Amino acid sequence: MLKTYVPLVEHNDHEGETWTQWLRVEGNEDQLEYLYTAIRRFDEDEDSYILDLNDRESEEVVERIVARARCGYTWSDSKVDGRLSLPNISSREELDDVLYKGSIEDYFKE
């Protein structure tokens, strides 16, 4: 089965960096749609987070991107596999709890 990934980009003004987590699509479609809706609802003016569900890349491409990642506060690009299970997100604070500084990776389980 071909694995595809979509980019979740975080612009972190405090660290002066931008990070991209490449999130696995297969098996996570509903959760990714939910996350996209939460970002649009709670981050519409700030643009701290961008999830582009239409920018799908193959695992091969993502692995090449990650191999060239730069390390600052954290890696500029990372690949995230597994099954996504998000909590209820009903505020900006809860959105930050899920996404801030790459913490989305904590919600993926193998």
Q: What is the pLDDT of residues 39-97, one digit of tens each?
A: 999 987 778 999 999 999 999 999 999 998 887 667 689 999 999 999 999 999 999 99
Asked if residue 88 belongs to a domain, the reply is: yes
4-12 and 49-51 as β-strands: parallel, antiparallel, unpaired? Answer: antiparallel
Q: What is the pTM for the complete model shown?
A: 0.90
Structural domain boundaries enclosing 36: 4-105
- Number of independent structural domains in the chain: 1
Helices (H) and strands (E) in the chain, counts: 3, 7
Q: Which residues pair with 79 in a beta bridge?
A: 22
Q: Would residue 72 count as lying in a domain?
A: yes
In a domain, 11, yes or no: yes
Q: Report pLDDT for 50.
A: 94
- Buried b or exposed e, range 53-92, using 16+ CB within 10 angstroms: eeeebeeeebeebbeeeeeeeeebbbbbbeebebeebeee
Amino acid letter, 34:
Y
Q: Residue 74 falls within a domain, yes or no?
A: yes
Question: Does 78 fall in a domain?
Answer: yes
Does 110 fall in a domain?
no
